[in-house]
Amino acid sequence: MNRLAALLGDHRPVLLDGAMGTLLQDSGLEDGHPGELWNLENQDAVRAAHTAYADAGSRVLTTNTFGGTRPRLDMHGLGDRLAEVNRNAARIARSVADGRGLLVAGDLGPTGELMAPLGTLTPEETQALFAEQVVALVEGGIDLVLVETLSDLAEADAALAAAREVAPDLPIVVTMSFDTNLRTMMGVRPGDAVTHLAAAGADAVGANCGRGPEEMEVIAAEMVAARPDGLLLVAQSNAGLPQVVGDHFEYDASAEDMAAHATRLADLGIDLVGGCCGSTPGHVAAIAAALGQAGVR
């Protein structure tokens, strides 16, 4: 049986959470500082963000570790604290999830370095970068691994291999960003991602980020059409597109827009639904209400 399905139980779709970075910025994280810094210096703010999503109805909390690989942490002088950054993040999410019966997804974003031939990283080096992050997340107590916002199938393969290497019993979810004419930046189509990543051992495959709900629904339909037996599908759309409002960006999809979108994803047969950039606890609460999941645990 699919390892993630076994963890999730029968109710579908399962509600994920939304963006973390903007919540931390709203709590005072300074421009130019990575959100991961607060896994060290302001754990209360990270915990408050998880709590807001849990209260909104999220059943899976995503660790604050999108930029938790060594190359990304090195950009901010935090590379030597990689284990602490990732372990703390998992523990903070765990502290909110425990007692509420929620799951914790250990979040991995792109490594921050391109693989050959566009860049220099070999598959083995890429796998090693993901593996050291997963080790620390597992020490902190994650329930599953979520690799997200990828563009390159080779990088996804390396992340899957890393998770299998250091956490063979944990379910693995891989989502890619189909933000370039319904393909990833590297030209991968949704159906090809589903076929490839299912064969590579992912328990769930999906799409995140991107260009808003409308395109996400086209992508979701293509994923459903390619779904092999037993694979779960995931969609976490941005809350529309960013618009300049005064001195900052605001995403143009309202909570109601995202709720209607989530209902259409559920009708398509998507198993796990959440949000990405611009999605707040308010958006997630509206989705929970639309899916009839307010209070479902």
> Which residues of the chain form contacts with Zn ion (CB under 5 A)?
209, 238, 276-277
Which of left, alpha, beta for 292 (phi over 0: left; psi -120 to 50: alpha)?
Answer: left
> In the bound complex, what is the minimum distance in angstroms from residue 224's beta carbon to Zn ion?
21
Question: Of 111 and 238, which CB lies nearer to Zn ion in the complex structure?
Answer: 238
> In the bound complex, what is the minimum distance in angstroms from residue 166's beta carbon to Zn ion?
26
> In the bound complex, what is the minimum distance in angstroms from residue 279's beta carbon to Zn ion?
8
Q: What are phi and psi of 201, to 5 degrees?
A: 110, 10
Place of tokens 């639309």: 290
Question: Of 170 and 253, which CB lies nearer to Zn ion in the complex structure?
Answer: 253
Buried-exposed string 75-102: b where 16+ CB fall within 10 A, e elsewhere: eeebeebbeebbbbbbbbbbebbeeeeb
Number of separate helices (H) and strands (E) present in the chain = 12, 10
Question: Of 56 and 277, which CB lies nearer to Zn ion in the complex structure?
Answer: 277
> In the bound complex, what is the minimum distance in angstroms from residue 277's beta carbon to Zn ion?
3
209 is in an annotated binding site: yes
Question: Of 165 and 250, which CB lies nearer to Zn ion in the complex structure?
Answer: 250
277 is in an annotated binding site: yes
233 Cβ neighbours under 8 A, 6+ residues apart: 194, 204, 205, 206, 220, 223, 224, 227, 269, 270, 271, 272
82 is in an annotated binding site: no
**Residue set of the binding site for Zn(2+):** 209, 276-277
**Residue set of the binding site:** 209, 276-277
